[in-house]
Amino acid sequence: MITRDLDAFLARAGDSAPDFGPATARAAFLVAPDGFARAGESAADNRYMAGAAEFDPGLALRQHRALHVALSRQLPTVCFAGDPDTPDALFPNNVFATARADVRSAAPFPPRLVVGRMRHPVRQREAGRGDIRGWFRDVAGYAERDLSTQPHPCELTGALVVDRSSGLGYCGLSERCDAAGAALMHAAFGLRATLVFDLAPGEYHTNVVLAVLAGRAVLACADGFADRAVAGAIAGLYPHAALLSAAERDAFAGNAIALTAGTVSMSATAARALRPETVRMLETAGFVTCQVDLSAIEAGGGSLRCCVAEVF
């Protein structure tokens, strides 16, 4: 099921047991911020991006290395080299994602690499990287679902937040993902049900305003949804949830990720912005917060979750 009908989705989601697959990834990969600079095309629809004078490539490289070290303490994490011709490549989760093997459906498939269709040409170049595709194909043995050559934008786990344990997707539409792109991603990930909704004007990616953490907790900023009720309905599906303030959202608190069952990772900027009630929710849900200073990287309009491509 892929639908805009909130009631129909909630009914389907309520019947979905957490047996679709592992709630967290078995590995992750990053792309180094070599050539990190302000990409004018990306800035056109990313209000979180700073001005060119605020970019510090050297500091971004050092912070990214610290991120690699921090994540490697949680799960196997590899880092591919960057490319000055692709200054946004340090946010690979928009371009590359993985789907677990599915042997139960009518159309079973092996583990697969999904390659997304980016809106802007400067980011479309990232999809052509032979090293990342080759690593998954020749080293990891993944099949490939290539969406990069079709015309509909579908910026993968930037636009689509996935609850991997229950097979549920939450896809916010914006310039970075249209309805046809949402349907393509729903099929590529083999999801049970995907809710499609509009993001609020000025929001470019769902994963800035929504995070599903290890299948049991949610961070959601209602201001980021065109219909605030959608955020509340999603939060109501989980035993632990916090509705973020606009200040928490602007500090990238919604751009968090659970890479293990007991850890939620976010930037130091995000962690400092958390209200006491948000901290309590995360603690009650059984999470320890891992924070990394990504202030230089956040000038690029994304934060920790944007830097992480999960391997399932």
DSSP for the chain reads -EES-HHHHHHHHHT--S-SS-SS-SEEEEE--TT----HHHHTT-TTPPPGGG--HHHHHHHHHHHHHHHHTTS-EEEE---TT-TTTT-GGGTEEEE--B-SSSS-B-SEEEE-B-SSHHHHGGGG-HHHHHIIIIIS--EEEE-TTSSS-B-HHHHEEEETTTTEEEEEEBTTB-HHHHHHHHHHHT-SEEEEEEBPTT---GGGTEEEETTTEEEE-GGGBSSHHHHHHHHTTSSEEEEPPHHHHHTTTTS-EEEETTEEEEEHHHHHH--HHHHHHHHHTTPEEEEE--TTGGGGT--HHHH-EEE-
* pLDDT tens digits for range 18-48: 999 999 999 999 999 998 989 989 989 999 9
Assign 82 a pLDDT band (cuts: 50, 70, 90). Answer: very high
C-beta atoms surrounding 222 within 10 Å? 20
Span 292-301, average pLDDT: 97
Quick one: pLDDT band at residue 105, thresholds 50, 70, 90?
low
Is residue 108 very low, low, confident or very high in pLDDT (cuts 50, 70, 90)? low
Quick: pLDDT tens for 248-267: 999 999 999 999 999 999 99
The whole-number pLDDT of residue 100 equals 85
Query: Would you state the pLDDT for residue 198?
Result: 98
pLDDT > 70: percent of the chain = 98
Residue 230, pLDDT above cutoff 70: yes
List of domains in the chain: 2-311 (3.75.10.10)
pLDDT average, residue stretch 74-88: 95
